[in-house]
Amino acid sequence: MTGTTVKVPVRGGVGESTMRPDGIPKVTGNFAFASDLYADGMLWGATRRSPVAHGRIRRVDIGAALAMPGVVAVLTQADTAGRRTFGLEEADQPVLAAGAVRFWGEPIAVVAAHDPDTARRAAAAIGVDIEELPPLSDPEVAVEQGSVVRHIRIRRGEPDASGAVVVEGYYEVGQQDQAPLGTEAGLAIPDGEGGVDLWAVSQWLHADHEQIHLSLGVAPDQVRCHPVGVGGAFGSREDMSMHIHLCMLALRTGRPVKMVYDRAESFTGHVHRHPARMWYRHEANEDGALVKVEAKIILDGGAYASTTSAVIANAAYFAVGPYRVDNVSVDGYGARTNNPPAGAMRGFGAVQACFGHESQMDRLAARLEMDPLELRRRNALGSGDPNATTGQIIEGSLPTVRVIDELAAIPVPDPADPADVRNRPGGTGLTTDPGDIRRGIGYALSIKNLAFSEAFDDSCEASVILTPMGAEVRTAACEVGQGLAMVCQQIARTALGLNHVAVVFTDTSEIGSAGSTSASRQTQMTGGAVLKACEELRDRILTEHGGDDLTDDGVVRGGEVVATLAELCASGPIEHRVVFRHPETFSTDENGQGAPHADFAVAAHRAVVDVDPELGLVRVVRVDTAQDVGTALNPMSIRGQIEGGIMQGLGLAVMEELVLDEGRMLNANFTDYLLPTFADAPDVECRLVEEPGLWGPFGAKGVGEPPTISSTPAVVAAIRDATGLELIRAPVRPEHIVLP
């Protein structure tokens, strides 16, 4: 069928604030999350965990558990058929502990039973005799004893350089939990031929797959990891939790096995943000120009390596922030202790370093009696400058000055009516006298790498399939709530010129890796792969048919349709598959010098707070921001990411912290681990600074992490401004700000 057509621009393409395809199912409760999984005849799994942070396992007695009615299997490390350890970067964590336990809550045995209550009772009935040993819980002591996952040493410029003005400081950041709304959950189904299919929460299916098949002792094609609905991640799903346990139980019993952690177990079952201790020394000239920065950063990685090696690298590489300085000395240590394992969390090391360097910039501004934004503007890093730590020349866009100026242009609000108790730090509790309220304003800037670094072969595979109905994009990327399906649709629609695009997240047997949904990378990497696949498929079709355009009607030449989509697909759907890579990155030398990163983004935050210094209460009134986004593919989605990220940064600033006592977690619940709620949400104005990047689709940059990085120090800076206190630690607790 041929004819003529007038091309109509695609609907829901790049640059529009389109609706998410998973939005309506999620808000109506019809979306299937991992905890909703079901299979006929399935069993339920449960885990026996260590009651101590460090000890020798003398005996594990599974007899009582096996004897319980309804119990089908109880497994220990002896039942691990393949490699008995796993790990994302280093395979150092036992599948099930044997011989020793190294953190409180470490898995020792797993149970499968007919129902979840029986499984939990059976797990509790497993006898575990442990000789408790003193835990190594202090990361500074761990560093002194050489218990270190990685030491990053950075030396740049002249060690004897000095400035006329010197400020020094010590800072701490507590351990934050990702606190995803959905706990860890999964379902494993044996295939009857020695293999298994797994649906479990994840941020990187192919990394899970590699670790699982090695520990099961089966061939790679005998394990298939499938995407599943994930109720939040923020880094907590990069490392595996129940994945190998589920597969072991399914293979042993020959039946599907499901697990769902309760909230307390979720706190022990996933990694957390690395707590930090940091020492800084900044030297500057009288005009505020930075001359030298020295820093020592210790991150507590907990009992196992997880991603500590990469997190401490980020903390060290961004220890100075988005500023120019020619002389730098940084030592970063990722300590190994008997605390719960720490790993990926939104911001990935840059969060901790940002609290340190921004606190220092405020100290320096105060010493110089200079406006804190002006000090930052004078030292702002930009395109063509060397990164202060690694010396890497910043290529592409880095609009730090524009970000500062856009933030400064947002009006500061007037104080709210104190007669309305909802506007007071004490809220409706009527605890704050209006005359006691002190207002403070604080600023912070951040810089973060985008995508994987340090010579990692960061790649992403995607395919696009043309059908008579339109196009289908296929990827193994994990959608964890960030809106990847929507962005892939927008990219494909724009690149192909077609309105009807479906996105299918598929399993590890059908397509190659898309890498992790982390490092603010999926829009650039999976988006980049989708763009490449679509452009190449479109070019191929137009070349084969002599067309000059592709539309929903088909191939168009000179305004006439020469082949419809149905005619193009007469012999079947047309697929084009690609692998996309970002620009090459490199390892650094012995002094931390080199080009380890593929891209960067900057952000700036201004916080306005009201404080009741008599009671130590804080109300975060407003957090405004300007952020470098490259090209805004979906402005509304970006604003959603920014607002959500600010809430996590606010939480770390004033309330969120896991409390440990000699490695034992004291507040593994949402009663004692406090999260900001809707009532704590500040007003937010965000300005998107668009300067297209070098390699993201249509110039886009990842946007997920910067909102969290500099919002925390901005809020703490505002509390300092209101109280006049140093406040060297996040989160700031009421007892830290009660004035004498």
Whole-number Cα distances in Å, 671 to 209, 342, 668: 35, 22, 9
714: helix, coil or strand? helix
**pLDDT tens, residue by residue, 226-265:** 999 999 999 999 999 999 999 999 999 999 999 999 999 9
Q: Classify residue 72: in a domain, yes or no.
A: yes
Provide the CATH number for the domain around residue 214: 3.90.1170.50
In a domain, 169, yes or no: no
Clarify whether residues 315 and 413 are in a common domain: yes
406 and 463 belong to one structural domain: no
Q: Where are the alpha helices (DSSP H) in 662-737?
A: 706-709, 711-723, 734-737
Residue 173 lies in a domain: no
* Claim to verify: residue 426 and residue 288 sit in the same structural domain: yes
User: Which pLDDT does position 429 carry in this prediction?
Assistant: 79
Domain holding 337, by residue range, is 276-452+589-737
Q: Are residues 128 and 251 in the same domain?
A: yes
Asked whether the predicted pLDDT for residue 544 surpasses 80, the reply is yes
Q: Are 304 and 234 in contact (CB under 8 A)?
A: no
With respect to residue 168, please indicate whether it lies within any of the assigned structural domains: no
Predicted pLDDT at 407: 98
Q: How many CB atoms lie within 10 A of CB 538?
A: 22
Pair 556, 434 in one domain: no
pLDDT tens digits, residue range 201-232? Answer: 999 999 999 999 999 999 999 999 999 999 99
238, 269, 300 - which closes a domain: 269
Check whether residue 128 and residue 197 sit in a common domain.
yes
On whether residue 438 sits in a domain, the answer given is yes
Q: How far is CA 310 from the centre of its chain?
A: 13
- CATH number for the domain spanning 471: value is 3.30.365.10
Residue 486, pLDDT > 70, answer yes
> For the chain, how many structural domains are there in total?
3
Q: Is residue 166 part of a domain?
A: no
d(CA 275, CA 66): 40
Q: Are residues 236 and 281 in the same domain?
A: no
pLDDT-based confidence at 34, cuts 50/70/90?
Answer: very high
Q: Last residue of a domain, which of 558, 581, 604?
A: 581
Q: With respect to residue 154, please indicate whether it lies within any of the assigned structural domains.
A: no
Q: Which of 269, 295, 315 is the last residue of a domain?
A: 269
Encoded tokens for 626 = 């300007």
**In this predicted structure, what is the pLDDT of residue 1?**
30
Overall pTM surpassing 0.75 (yes/no): yes
Instruction: Report residue 141's pLDDT band, with 50, 70 and 90 as the boundaries.
Output: very high
User: Which residue from 725, 707, 737, 733 is spatially nearest to 444, judged by alpha carbons?
Assistant: 707
Q: 3-class SS at 642?
A: helix
Are the C-beta atoms of residues 155 and 592 closer than 8 Å to each other? yes
Do 612 and 668 lie in one domain? The reply is: yes
Predicted confidence band at 414 (pLDDT cuts at 50, 70, 90)?
confident
pLDDT in tens, 685-721: 999 999 999 999 999 999 999 999 999 999 999 999 9
Residues 118 and 244 in one domain: yes
Burial class (CB in 10 A: 0-12, 13-18, 19+), 29: exposed
Q: In which region does residue 649 sit, left (phi positive, over 0), alpha (psi from -120 to 50) or beta (all else)?
A: alpha
Mean pLDDT of all residues in 111-118: 98
Q: Is 286 in the same domain as 400? A: yes
| 332 bridge partner residues | 152, 297
In a domain, residue 262? The reply is: yes
Token pair of 565, please? 């989509």
Phi/psi for 533 (5° steps) reads: -65, -40
Query: In this predicted structure, what is the pLDDT of residue 421?
Result: 82
Q: Read off the pLDDT band of 473 (50, 70, 90).
A: very high
Write the CA distances from 207 to 87, 229, 457, 463, integer angstroms: 9, 18, 14, 20
Q: Which pLDDT score, from 0 to 100, does residue 363 have? A: 98
Q: Residue 191 pLDDT > 90, yes or no?
A: yes
Percent of the chain at pLDDT > 70 equals 99
In the predicted model, what is the mean pLDDT of residues 625-641? 97
pLDDT at 3: 34
Residues 434, 291, single domain; the answer is yes
pLDDT-based confidence at residue 68 (cuts at 50, 70, 90): very high
Please say if the pLDDT value at position 155 is more than 50.
yes
* 560-582 per-position pLDDT tens digit: 999 999 999 999 999 999 999 99
- Do 281 and 417 lie in one domain? The reply is yes
Output the CA angle 263-351-642, nearest 5 degrees: 75
Confidence of residue 20 (pLDDT cuts 50, 70, 90): very high
